[in-house]
Amino acid sequence: MSIPPDVQQQILSDPRMKAKIQEVGEAALNDPAVQELVIKIAKEKGPEVAKAAAGKVREWAKDPVVQAQACAYAGVAAQYAGRAGLAAAAYIEQGPTSARVLAFAGGVASIVCAGAHLISFADILLAPANYVLALYQTLFSLTTLLFELNPTVVAKVPAFSSYQDVLIEKAKFLSEARGRGLFYFFQGTVWLCFSSVWSLLSLQLFPALTFVCGVFMCLVGLIHVLIHYGKLQTVIEKGRDGYAKISDTP
């Protein structure tokens, strides 16, 4: 069992964790006493969470992003996260790698769709609204890529890091999986507005790709909302159970 991001956040932001990390300083999750406290707090969340935490605590200690998050909650992020270039990462709730890959792929697909519209210069005169929307979607897509990249990579490019810092401060919803999920869903609905039933039936290439991209981004958005509330695994398990019942039906 993996620990949902919201439960991980609750553990790391627990007042007892804050006090202990302030006591041990930059050692943070590498300190045995802190690791014991993580497991103790996890036990209060239930036996399954406690079991998962026992296996995860050492992974967290080796993960600079989780370390930065723990330090940030404890108020010592300036020393640890600042030196590691991960100050912003401490405030970004990222989902499992698979979800990040899906979102990143959606961002790339969105850039391709936007580029296809932007190179059609005739749209500047014939469909100026669509052209402007494509410009917006390009910016939104780049933002998607930025927030789904490994924070250590973003920190190495000052321009990207500065832009991300501004967004975290001015658009805090992007730092949560739920907020980004709604943002991705919005992007998807915008792409769906570019397509029509007629264009799909006539098998026009770009409208069809735009439609697929829109549906994909909407699904990615829903996945991120489920991740925020820790419901993704529940949905997957129910889907598997339903499939198993159908398969067992003679």
Each residue's pLDDT tens digit, 58-91: 777 666 667 676 666 666 544 444 444 445 555 5
Q: Where are the domains of the chain?
A: 5-74, 96-248
pLDDT-derived band at 229, boundaries 50, 70, 90: confident
Going by C-alpha positions, the residue among 17, 11, 94, 93 that lies closest to residue 49 is 11
Question: Burial level of 19, CB count in 10 A (0-12/13-18/19+)?
Answer: exposed
Average pLDDT (186-214) is 81
